[in-house]
Amino acid sequence: MKFLQYTLLFLFVSVFTLHASKPEAQYKQLRISYTLNTDGSMDYHFCKELTLFTHTAMNRTYGETFITYNPNFQNITINEAYTIQKEGNKISLPKNALIPVLPRCASGAPDFNHLKEMVVVHTGLELGATIFLDYTIHTKKGLYPFFDINDCLQQTSPVKDCEVTVSYPSNQPVVVQIVGRNTSAKVTKNDDMTTDRYVFKNIPALSREAYQVKYDPSVLRIVASETDIATALRSVKSKFEDTIPTNLKAAADKLITTKKTKIGNIGTLRSLVAQNFSVKHIPYSLNGISLRSFNKIYNSHYATTLEEASLLYNLLHMEGFQADLIAVFPAYLEAKNCGLGSVTNWIVLAQDNLNSYIQKTQGACYYKIDGTKLNIKSDLKKITNSKTLLASKGEKNNGYTILSLPTFKNGVDTWRMNTLPTNRNTVLEIPSRISEESLYTIDIDNDAHFLTSKYNKKITNSAGLFSQDIEVQGKRIIVKRRIRLEKGHFNRKEYRDLRLLLNEWYDANNHLLVFSN
C-alpha cells in the first residue's frame, strides 16, 4: 500500500512538477506616467527594464518594441535605449535600430499615410540580457477630445515592480479606475497639479490559456477619464454630417423595395455599405475621433470602423429606418466615468439585430451615441438542427456498416473545444450561451441489424446538461443529442463540469452508429 502511495505520488510529481512553468522573461521594473498638462497637451512616459531568460523571449517576443504614433499631433522621444548583456557589457542602441515605418493598420489608406510606427530593434540580446527602454510621447491638444486612458498593466511576462502615475491640473479632476486589483492611490499636490501614484508588486504574467474572457475584470488595467461617457459620446455625434453622398443614396434607393421585409431592406443597406468599403482598423489611440467627410469616405472606398458605422447609421435614417449608433464598452468598467479610449467597437442597431451581436459579446455594455445606456439582456442562443440519413450510406468494413452522424456548422461544433486540457487557471468564456439540439433520423434501407450499446446518456451538472437518446422505431432510428450551457463563463470548478459535457458532445464515438450486415 505504501508502495502504491509512493507510486501515485511519483506519478503526480512527474506529470505536474516537471511541467512547472518558468517565465520566459521578467520585467524588473515598469514605470508608466500619464500627464494632462495645463495647456491641454498630454505626455505618456514609458520605461521598462526587462530581463530575458529564453530564446523564445529573445527572438520573437521581445526582440523589438513597436510604438505607434500620429506625427500630426504627437512626437516621440527615445530618452534611453540600451541592453546590458549577461556579463555586464552595455550595448547602446545604434541609430539604425530606430526605424519609423507605416503601421500595418494604415496600409492601403492614403488619408492615414501620416501615421507612424517606430520600430525599436533591441541589439546585443542574449540569454540573461536586460533590455532598457525609456521613451516619451507628447500629444498636442486636439487629437483626443478629452484626457483618456485605458491600458492593460499586466504583461506577457511577470512584473516585479510597477509604478504608474496619473497627473492632471488640480482644477480638472480625473477619475481613475484600477481594474483587477484593490488598491488606492497615493495622492500628492504640487503647484496646480495633482498626481495619483499607484505601486504594484509582483504582477503575474497574463495567462496564455485559450478561450479567456474577452472583457476580463481580473486583468490588471488602468482606466481614467476627465469626462463622463455621455459628454464623450456627444463629442463624436457632433462630428457627424447630416447628409450622405448622393451616389450612395441613389444606389440605396434602387435597392429598397416594398417586396422585401423591413429587416430585409435593412440587411440590403448594410450589405451595400459593407461592399463599398474595405475596413481600416485605425485605433482611437492613433486617430482620436477624427471623421473624414462622408463624400471623401465614399469616394475612397475604404473606411474606419467608426466611419463605416456612422455612414450606415446616416443612410438608414435617410431611408426612413430607425437606427442607433452604439458604442460597446466592457461591462466591468464604470462606463459613466469612461472616455472613448474604452470603446471596443461601434455598431449600428437597427430593429432587433443587436441580440445576435450580444450573444457573441458577453460582458459588454452598450451606450447610444446620445449617452443613454441600453438595457438589453442577452438571450440564450437556441439552435435546432436535423438531418435524415440512410443506414446503407455508411462505411463498409468486414460485414459491418459504420454510419457517421454529421456535425453542424452553426453551434457547439463550430467552437472546436474538443481538446480542452484537464486543468485550467482562468475563467473560460464560451462563444455564446447556448441550447442546442441535433435530431438525426436514420432509415434502415437494407437488411442491416443495428447494434446498440450504451448510447443513451444524460449528464446534468453545474455547467449545464448533455443528453443523447437513441430510439429504434422499426426500420427507423431517431438520435437526439442535446447540450445546454446557460452560463457564459466557467470558473475553475465549473470548468471540469463544462469539459465533461463538451467531451461527450465532441467524442467521435458518440457520432457513430454500427450495423451488422
Partner 1 sequence: MKHLFLVLFTLASISIGAKEVNTNQDDFVIKLDSTSVIVKKNGSGTFSIYKRIRINTLAGCVKNSVLIYNYDPLTAFAEFKKVLIHHKQGKTEEVSVINACDYVAPARAIYWGARQIMIGINGLQPGDELEYTIEKKGFTYALLGSDANRFVPPMRGQFYDIVPFWVETPTKKKVYEIIMPKSKQLQFQFYQGTCATSVRFKGNNTIYKFIKTDIVPFKKEPNMVNLFDVAPKLMTSTTPRWEDKSLWFNKVNEDYGSFKSTPEAKQKVKEIIKGKKDDMEKIAALTHWVADNIRYSGLSMGKGEGFTLHNLKMNFTDRCGVCKDIAGTLIGFLRIAGFQAYPAMTMAGSRVESIPADHFNHCVCVVKLKNGTYMPIDPTWVPFVRELWSSAEQQQNYLPGIPESSDLCLTPLSPPENHYLRIKATNKLHKDGTLTGKFVVTAEGQTDSSLRRIFTTGWQSDWKDYLEKNLLKVSPKAQLISIDYGHNPKDYQKAPLKMVYSYKIPDYALVAENTILVKPLVMNNLFNSVKSYLAIADLKQRNYGFKDRCSRLIQLDETISIPTGYKLVGKERQDDITSETADFNGFLEQRNNLLILKQCLTLKKRIYKASDWKDFREAVNKHKDYGQFIILNK
Q: Which of residues 247-276 bind partner 1 (CB under 8 A)?
A: 247, 275-276
Q: Give the residue with the Cβ less far from partner 1, 99 or 380.
A: 99
Does 461 bind partner 1 (CB under 8 A)? Our answer is no
* Smallest distance from partner 1 to CB 90, Å: 11
The burial class, CB within 10 Å (0-12 / 13-18 / 19+), for 17 is exposed
| Of residues 45 and 160, the one with the C-beta less far from partner 1 | 160
Among the candidate windows 33-41, 103-111, 160-168, 229-237, which touches partner 1 by CB under 8 A?
Answer: 103-111
Task: Among 6, 14, 384, 491, indicate the residue that binds partner 1 (CB under 8 A).
Answer: 14
Q: Which of residues 305-344 bind partner 1 (CB under 8 A)?
A: none
How many CB atoms neighbour CB 370 within 10 A?
Answer: 11
In this chain, which stretch among 20-28, 70-78, 186-194, 327-335 interacts with partner 1, using CB under 8 A? 20-28
Q: Is 456 in the site for partner 1 (CB under 8 A)?
A: no
> Cβ 44 to partner 1, closest distance in Å?
23
Give me the sign of the Cα torsion angle 31, 121, 100, 81: positive
516 is a contact residue toward partner 1 (CB under 8 A): yes
Site for partner 1 in 381-400 (CB under 8 A): 397-400
Contact 285, 69 (CB under 8 A): no
Query: Any contact of residue 497 with partner 1 (CB under 8 A)?
Result: no
Q: Does 96 bind partner 1 (CB under 8 A)?
A: yes
Query: Rule CB under 8 A: which of 27-56 touch partner 1?
Result: 54-56
**Burial environment of residue 71 by CB neighbours within 10 A (0 to 12, 13 to 18, 19 or more):** exposed
Q: Of 170 and 461, which has the nearer Cβ to partner 1?
A: 461
**Binding to partner 1 (CB under 8 A): which residues in 192-251?**
205, 208-209, 247
CA distance to 12, 45, 135, per residue, from 75 (Å): 55, 12, 11
* Candidate residues 38, 72, 75, 113; the one interacting with partner 1 per rule CB under 8 A: 113
Q: Minimum distance from CB of 448 to partner 1 (Å)?
A: 13
Query: Are the beta carbons of 337 and 229 closer than 8 angstroms?
Result: yes
The pairing of beta strand 116-121 with beta strand 64-69:
antiparallel
Q: Is residue 97 a contact residue for partner 1 (CB under 8 A)?
A: yes
The angle at the Cα of 337, spanning 332 to 343, to the nearest 5 degrees, equals 65
Residue 128 interacts with partner 1 (CB under 8 A): yes or no: no
CA distances from 6 to 1, 9, 11 (A): 9, 5, 9
- Within the chain, what is the greatest distance between any pair of CA atoms? 94
- Residue 73 binds to partner 1 (criterion: CB under 8 A): no
In three-state secondary structure terms, 254 is helix
Task: Match 422585401 to its residue by C-alpha cell.
Answer: 260
